[in-house]
Structure formats: structure tokens, C-alpha cells
Copies of this chain bind each other. A is one copy, B any other.
């Protein structure tokens, strides 16, 4: 099936800046797809640290379990990702495939297999033809380049209609550092993890523990705050690699003031990638930001936002350009978090449509209707309980979603 590029795709796709100490190679290995690249090899210079956030699915795939083990030792020398086959629900044979890939990449990178990270995305429940991945690895390593980020972002795509990339020049203290990243994902998108796959690298010098302390909250505010369909993949993986080439002074604590700007830039980069995933949501025609305030806690606000963002009735109303705030109220109610029905307030496109638990009398429907016709929808809900707030992003639910998903394997 040939799916047109999402109408929400960015006008220009950014080519990520090279990151010193990271070399990338891609190849068409025929894992499942024909006539396109489907394997990515990334090589990291010695001394590279790593942090990660992985799916909490109870049926997570063998590659995810491999990464979880690797993260405990905190260093990385290689990453191998294939698209087309998720190597999930493949039993002991799936585990062997991951080990084969890790061993082959370790030989190429001259490191221990534990320093190799492995991901797979695509169909569930089919054995991975891992020899097709391992055999070309030496040749791929020989041609790996620092400037191959765009090819890398394309190689990891499945139902994505555009590659997802981001890059930012940051600094730690006075030392310039680079952050570059890529992501893939368009369906099965919901916390945790929403991504399905995202890889970010920086030339900053940061211990793995600091890297992890920066990554976890940034993932919560980005990939764990988006939803396309409430479905959670068995393969979701976010990894952050730091090569140390920038030569910034040592940092041993994530609260170090020297990290202030780096933190902000990392958060912005992850948010950009997460938004791109939503904007490529299967069948999406509108991008929706849901701001929840007045909740009992930040966590409660996020749960309420996700209840709204996952509601098929809210999402179909948005597809129909219908400012149906009654369905938003319904979704708040089902979130299971405290809400004061009679103090609730809702704004759509900045215009109050409900206040004090009632429709705003004679509110001007014209600007609201005009807002609902746009590509970017803004919903703000105050639930009248406390001071917790959160923002969640989603897309609408259209015929396109049904087209793509009622026909995926055929």
C-alpha cells in the first residue's frame, strides 16, 4: 500500500549535524522490504556512555530485553537497528538472533557484545533472518560516515511517511556541544514508550548516570506525553549516546548548573522528535495539543490529558472539525482522576467555551469553528481541583487510520 506523506509533515526535513565519534551506515539487506534500506549500523568511539528508556510492555521483545541488560553497564560501541521485522514474540530463537547480531557487531566494533545495542521494528511473531543482517556488517562498518544521519533516519522507517530528525547546537558551560537525533513511529504510539524507536547522540562528555538522570524526565515530557492510538509497542526504545569528544569539563551531577542549557536543548530535541511522530500518526489530519491545568498533581494532569487524547469520540470529533467539548468532559470523567464537574473550564483555540461547569452563554462560535478547520488544534482544560498541569499531544482519528490498519499485512 502506498501511503501519501502526512499533511502534517514539516515543510523541510532537517539533516542532523554530524556528532564527533558517531559513524553511521545503512544497507538494503532484504530483511522484509525490497528495494529500500532496512538495516542501520552506528559505531561509537571508545568512551561513549549511554542511557535509555524502554517500553514497559509485559511482552517486550528480545531486542528490548537485550538493551535493558546493556544499559546496566552504561557504555556503548555499536547500535544495530533493522526495520520490517520486530523480532518480538519469537521465543528462544528471537533471543539467539539478538545474540548473533550483537556478537557480529562486537567483532566489527572490537568490543564486548554487551556494548552493542540492538533494536528491531516491524511485524511481530516472525523469525528474524538474522544472517541477512550480520553478514553485511563488516562491509557496512567499512563505509560508515559521520554525515549519514538522514540515510539512517530513513532506514529505520516502517509505516512512517517521512523521516524524523532533529539537531541542536548546545553548550555545557562554555564548551559547544552538538545533539542530533532520529525517530521512527506512526502507529502503536502511546506511553510508555511512545516512540517506537528514537536514537539521540551528543559529543558531550557525561557519565551514564548523569545521562540517565537527564533522559528520564525529558522522555516523560515528550515521548511519554504523546499518543496516536493508545497502543503500546513491544519494541519501544529511546537511547541517548554521549561520545565525550566535545571535551567539556567533567560533570558528575545532573543538577550541575553547567547543564542548564544542555537540559533545555535535550528536552526541546526530544519534544521535536515526539511531535514529528504524532504528526505522522496513521491517518492524522490534525495535530492536537491538550493542556490540562487544575489537576491534583502533574501525574493526574497527564493521565487526564491522555484520556482526552486517547478518546476515539474526541478524536473523531476533531477529524470532523466539531468543537464537541461534551466529549472532552466525558473523557475527563473517565480518566479516574479528581475533577470538579462544576468548576471545569474548557478553551478551544484560546476561546472559552465552558466555564464553571457550563457552556459559556452565547460564546462566539465562528472563531472556534475556524480554529477547528485548521491543522493545529489547541485544547485547554482546567479541572478545578489543584495546581497540577501537563501537556499531551495527539492527532485526530480518521478514515486514513482504518485504511492503513485494516490492511497492514496484505
Q: Given contacts A334-B232, A336-B58, is CB(A406)–CB(B316) below 8 Å? A: yes
Give the complex CA separation of A375 and B320 in angstroms.
Answer: 29
A10-18, A119-127, A257-265 - the one binding chain B: A119-127
**Which of A76-84, A132-140, A198-206, A352-360 participates in binding chain B?**
A352-360
Partner of A329, one of B187, B230, B234: B234
**Bound Cα distance from A90 to B358, whole angstroms:** 5
* CB under 8 Å from chain B, chain A span 305-337: 310-313, 316-317, 319-320, 322, 324-327, 329-337
Would you call B358 and A89 a contact (CB within 8 A)?
A: yes
Nearest CB in chain B to that of A331: its residue = B231
Most B CB within 10 A of own CB, among A92, A337, A338:
A92
Tell me which of A36-44, A244-252, A395-403 binds B.
Answer: A395-403
Stoichiometry, as copies per complex, reads 2
A405 within 8 Å of B (CB atoms): yes
| Structural contact, B405 and A338, CB atoms closer than 8 A | no
Contact with B along A51-66 (1 / 0, CB 8 A): 0000111111000000
A contact residues, total (Cβ < 8 Å): 69
Residues from chain B with Cβ under 8 Å of A338 in the complex: 58
What string of 1s and 0s marks CB contacts (under 8 Å) between A335-373 and chain B? 111110110100000000010111100000000000000
Dominant SS at the A interface? loop
Complex CA gap A337/B57 in Å reads 9
Taking CB atoms and an 8 Å cut-off, the chain A residues in 216-232 that contact chain B are: 229-232
If A320-B410, A332-B58, A333-B59 touch, whether A326 touches B91 (CB-CB below 8 Å) is no
A290–B125 Cα gap in the complex (Å)?
A: 20
Q: Is A407 an interface residue (CB 8 A)?
A: yes
